[in-house]
Amino acid sequence: MSQLIAPSVLAADFANLQRDVEMINRSEADWFHIDIMDGVFVPNISFGMPVLRDIVKHATKTIDCHLMIVDPDRYVETFAKLGCHILTVHYEACIHLHRTLQLIKSHGMKAGVALNPHTSVHLLTDVIQDIDLVCLMSVNPGFGGQSFIENTYDKITQLKKIIDYKKSDTLIEIDGGVTDNNAKQLVDAGADVLVAGSYVFKSADQEATIKSLRALANS
Ligand code: DX5
Ligand code: ZN
End-to-end CA distance of the chain: 13
pTM listed for this prediction: 0.98
Q: Are 178 and 195 in contact (CB under 8 A)?
A: yes
Q: Where are the beta strands (DSSP E) in 157-212?
A: 171-175, 193-196
Q: How far apart are CA 84 and CA 129, in angstroms?
A: 21
Q: How far apart are CA 175 and CA 156, in angstroms?
A: 12
Q: Which of 20, 64, 130, 175 is catalytic?
A: 175
pLDDT at 47: 97
Cα-to-centroid distance, 102 and ligand 1 (Å): 26
pLDDT at 169: 98
pLDDT tens, position by position, 61-97: 999 999 999 999 999 999 999 999 999 999 999 999 9
Q: Are 176 and 195 in contact (CB under 8 A)?
A: yes
Q: How far apart are CA 47 and CA 68, in angstroms?
A: 11
- The predicted model gives 159-168 an average pLDDT of 98
Q: In this prediction, what percent of the chain has a pLDDT beyond 70?
A: 100
Does the beta carbon of 64 sit less than 6 angstroms from any atom of ligand 1? no
At 210, the pLDDT band (50, 70, 90 cuts) reads very high
Cα-to-centroid distance, 66 and ligand 2 (Å): 5
35 annotated active-site: yes
pLDDT at 1: 75
The pick from 8, 36, 200 for probing ligand 1's pocket by mutation, whose C-beta has the most ligand atoms within 8 angstroms, reads: 8
At 167, the pLDDT band (50, 70, 90 cuts) reads very high
**Domains of the chain listed by start with CATH number:** 4-217 (3.20.20.70)
Does the beta carbon of 179 sit less than 6 angstroms from any atom of ligand 1? no
Q: Which of 150, 45, 160, 162 has its CA nearest to residue 173?
A: 160
| Helix (H/G/I), strand (E/B), else coil: 83 | coil
Q: How far apart are CA 65 and CA 34, in angstroms?
A: 5
Mean pLDDT of the chain: 98
Does the beta carbon of 196 sit less than 6 angstroms from any atom of ligand 1? yes
Nearest bound ligand to the CA of residue 37: 1
Q: Which of 35, 130, 132, 192 is catalytic?
A: 35
Q: How far apart are CA 60 and CA 121, in angstroms?
A: 32
pLDDT tens, position by position, 100-150: 999 999 999 999 999 999 999 999 999 999 999 999 999 999 999 999 999
